[in-house]
Amino acid sequence: MDSLQRQRERLSGVLPLSGRERRLPASTSEAQGAEECTVCHEGFFMNASGQSACLKCNEGTYSDESGLAQCRDCPAGRTTNYKGALDAQACTCNGDLWEGQCIRCLDTTRFELGTCVTCQEGLVCDEGKQPELLPGYYSTPEAPYDIYKCLPADKCPGETPGACNGGRVGVPCTQCPDGLSLENGVCSTCASLSTPGWVLSILIGMV
């Protein structure tokens, strides 16, 4: 048998065995010069006869037994986040857990008490991510979905609940901490008057 014929047999997955033809099944491979097919182990698969190597299961799939031609999909809403997973326990929730169920909310919605609700004004809801506040809106860390609209808008930077510009505090960013006063949009230390200043103020008041 010439080398070209051997190459064709290897590519087609048909190998000679004691004068007979043997076809390699899917999920197996045959190393150069080997007499037997190699079965793909857990975490791997092979979906075409005659491939030279087993392939790792893709993200979101797993192979819990050897010899699979196709990896098994993770349950809905779950993924492995890496290749070559060995069993279903590697599939973790890719959303929010609620009473043992994995719930993944789509764009323009967010998770709340076991269901997906519409993302209200002032929030950005991206699939699989924690909602973020838009600039000009405020919420407290204790109640992140009770949204306040800030006037003027530049008081509130958005993104994180409780965040305020200029050192402000309160709901929604309307006050300065004790001992500070608002000056040019920024909470600053209150200026103390010197003794001569107080005397001058009293004299002016008496005139």
Tell me which residue of 171, 100, 158, 97 sits closest to 131, measured CA to CA: 158
Low pLDDT (below 70) residues in the chain? 1-37, 49-51, 128, 191-207
Say what the pLDDT of residue 72 is: 96
Is there a domain that residue 65 lies in? yes
* Contact status, residue 27 vs residue 69, Cβ threshold 8 Å: yes
Say what the pLDDT of residue 191 is: 64
**Cα–Cα distance for residue pair 109/23, rounded to 1 Å:** 52
The domain tally of the chain equals 1
Is there a domain that residue 203 lies in? no
**Cα–Cα distance for residue pair 132/9, rounded to 1 Å:** 59
- CB crowding 12-34: b at 16 or more within 10 Å, else e: ebebeeeeeebebebbbbbeeee
- Residue 106 has φ and ψ, to the nearest 5°, of -85, 175
Rg over alpha carbons for the chain, rounded to the nearest Å, is 34
* Contact status, residue 15 vs residue 9, Cβ threshold 8 Å: yes
Say what the pLDDT of residue 128 is: 63
Is there a domain that residue 87 lies in? yes
Is there a domain that residue 85 lies in? yes
Q: In terms of residue numbers, what domain contains 65? A: 3-94
CATH number, domain with residue 77: 2.10.50
Amino acid letter, 145:
Y
Say what the pLDDT of residue 153 is: 95
Is there a domain that residue 11 lies in? yes
Is there a domain that residue 156 lies in? no
Say what the pLDDT of residue 108 is: 84
Which tokens in the block code for residue 131? Answer: 């909602």
Say what the pLDDT of residue 199 is: 43
pLDDT in tens, 70-92: 999 998 878 898 999 999 999 98
Say what the pLDDT of residue 56 is: 94
The string of DSSP codes covering 35-91 is SSPEEP-TTEE--STT-SS-EEPPTTEE--STT-SSPEEPPTTEE-SSS-B-SGGG-
Is there a domain that residue 122 lies in? no
For the whole model, what pTM was predicted? Answer: 0.52
At 7 the three-state DSSP class reads helix
Is there a domain that residue 28 lies in? yes
Say what the pLDDT of residue 50 is: 64
Say what the pLDDT of residue 16 is: 38
